[in-house]
A and B are shown apart, each in its own frame.
Chain A
Amino acid sequence: MSTEKSWGTQAFDWFEERLPIVSFIDNTVGSKYPAPKNLNYFWNFGALAGFVMVIMILTGILLAMSYTPHVDHAFQSVERIMRDVNSGWLLRYMHANGASFFFIVVYIHIFRGLYYGSYKAPREVLWWLGIIIMLIMMMTAFTGYVLPWGQMSFWGATVITNLFSAIPVIGDEIVTLLWGGFSVDNPTLNRFFALHFLMPFVLVGVVILHVWALHIPGSNNPLGINATPKDKIPFHPYYTAKDVFGLGVFLLVYFTVVFWFPNAMGHTDNYIPANPLSTPAHIVPEWYFLPFYAILRSIDDKLTGVILMFGSILILFVIPWLDTSRVRSATFRPIFRVLFWIFLIDCVVLTWCGAQLPEGIPLILTRVGTFWYFFHFLVLMPVIGWIETPRPLPTSISTPVVAKPAE
């Protein structure tokens, strides 16, 4: 009776005492999360990835309401979405291009982590969770691409599921299990649809763990040094405002593609209904799989190719220990910095190679690119860490080194 608090505040406090979810959010992405004040725009991409994930789940649920996971009706039901469902064309184009943009955003996010050493202690588990997120994204994207049941859906599914047959002893059993039979057919489509619907929610769970793991050590920063409390600012309103601006720029690019080039990142063959009797001239996966597809085809032996392809992702789990340098940010590592850009170019080259036939010059480039990919992680990373003399590190974010690092 004697309190001066308003009804609203009292009700809020009553609820907070029982379920402190509002303060939980405030601690996570609000005013109680102190973030280093020098984060550049590359730090936007985590929030952007979260935003794209929400777009994907929302459009995906709406699409699922009009989609039929049956070999005789899947292609047709997608066309009905495009033609007869209210705003169905928009949902589908946002979803299909959203997948590509999800990978663009996440790949930039990963390369940012590689450049600024965000994988190093004490953020190894955070980094692992990120790789797990990427793997779940890949499985989700792959199963999703099969659903329209076009030519590339069908043949992509055939090629990729067949990879598992390279596993000794149990390979064929695994493939039969994936297919739900003895070829890619209706049971395959059904289980892929079920998995495609399920995995995004698993993804959300791992994203929550990823954010949790981020909050234990706090955000890394472009200088890579530990931020002192006086070098930190509250996430809200500073980084929420910065992220909202970054989101605007992202949406400008995303909407331009969705509304004017909606099929630019797709393959024309996927507008041909799946036909098990007619193999397309070139089976290519979606662009975001191309570097891994190139690594797979870099070698004639199927099992070795499969091991290399999975190895190219799994190797990321151990780079916190392969990198022997204790300096995080490449800004202070003159040799590593050059190698980072070479590695980035290597990935672009592999992406290009993945879309070519594996013969002649593309095959040579694929092999060189694959070699360099592993050489970078397995040899250069540890060796450079030992022999490189890093530039002097600033003592704190507010007091940079005497000479500003060349930009």
Chain B
Amino acid sequence: MRIVLFAALATLFIGFVPVDVKAAGGEVKLDHQEWSFDGVFGRFDRQQLQRGFQVYREVCASCHSLDYIAFRNLEAIGYSEDQTKVLASEYTIEECCDDQGDIFDRPAIPADYIPNPYPNEQFARASNNGALPPDLSLMSKARHGGPDYVYSLINGYPDPDKSTPEMEAELMDGMYYNAVFEGNQIAMAQQLFDDLLEYSDGTDPTAKQMAKDVAAFLHWAAEPKLEMRKQTGVRVLLFTFVFTILAYFLKRRIWADVES
């Protein structure tokens, strides 16, 4: 009985905490998706991550950096070491400096981080109507809803046939309507359209499919240790469970001679 009480109390405290922290975030209707990495044993779908990386590389990367991902990290989404070398070599790194003190260009190696599309913030803003495209490495953890948010935002643009004149009227110059973005005005135009690119694994590249793939990829980029975390968790929790049961019987036995 007391144990039940204890557990109920603990659950109560855990239960109300995340709820009221979330309450501060404001409400948007997110389009909730099923993700392979959800749940107790959740894992990343390597194929999906590779498709997502392709979307990032061919679409997002023209404006958005991915500062915390090095080419070597891509081995974790299923590329071989040689493939990451080839992938890296397609990028150029500006290195300081050679023996003469001159800046020189060299092909990237797996140890390099994915280069930023812009040399500096001012340049990025100047190229984007004053807006700074944010780094995407942690986007999936930096917004309420995580991958659901990223997916919904990319898909959050109105159907041109259905968009109302009011939507257009409210917008500031160079801004676009987005149902999910805070304030509903976003500096990024719609980026994904059906058949924008061709997937090497033959998946049908609908806009929604690409959005889902890139959201999954960005969730991996934000939380690359997710699989290890959940797998470790299962083992730790099993051990703790057995430990707790043994501790319970030990306690009962030790206490057997104490009259209540």
Contact = CB atoms under 8 A, between A and B. Distances in A.
B236 A255 contact: yes
Contacts of A343: none
A406 to B, nearest CB: 15
Nearest to B233: A259
A256 B21 contact: no
A354 B240 CA distance: 35
A265 B21 CA distance: 7
Contact of A244 (B7, B236, B247): B247
Q: Which of B14, B143, B259 has the most CB of A within 10 A?
A: B14
Interface residues of B, number: 54
Nearest to A75: B138
B227 to A, nearest CB: 11
Given A251-B244, A260-B230, A287-B20, A241 B237 contact: no
Given A272-B142, A348-B16, A83 B237 contact: no
B182 A41 contact: no
B20 A281 contact: no
B181 to A, nearest CB: 13
A83 B17 contact: no
B255 A352 contact: no
B233 A258 contact: yes
Contact of A241 (B138, B142, B234, B255): B255
Interface in B218-260: 222, 224-225, 228-230, 232-234, 236-237, 240-241, 243-244, 247-248, 250-251, 254-255, 258-260
Contacts of A249: 3, 6-7, 10, 244
B255 A238 contact: yes
A136 B25 CA distance: 29
A264 interface: yes
Interface string A234-255: 0001100110111111111101
B225 A82 contact: yes
Contacts of A372: none
Contacts of B232: 90, 259
Main SS of chain B's interface residues? Answer: helix
Nearest to B183: A281
Given A83-B68, A241-B251, A271 B141 contact: yes
A245 B134 CA distance: 48
Nearest to B26: A281
A252 B247 contact: no
B208 interface: no
B182 A255 contact: no
A137 interface: no
B157 to A, nearest CB: 23
Contacts of A237: 254
A245 B248 contact: yes
A395 interface: no
Contacts of B243: 248, 251
Contacts of A262: 229
Interface of B: 2-3, 5-7, 9-11, 13-14, 16-18, 20-21, 23-26, 40, 68, 73, 134, 137-138, 141-144, 182, 222, 224-225, 228-230, 232-234, 236-237, 240-241, 243-244, 247-248, 250-251, 254-255, 258-260
| Shortest Cβ-Cβ A-B pairs, 6 listed | A259-B233, A248-B244, A271-B142, A245-B247, A264-B18, A89-B225
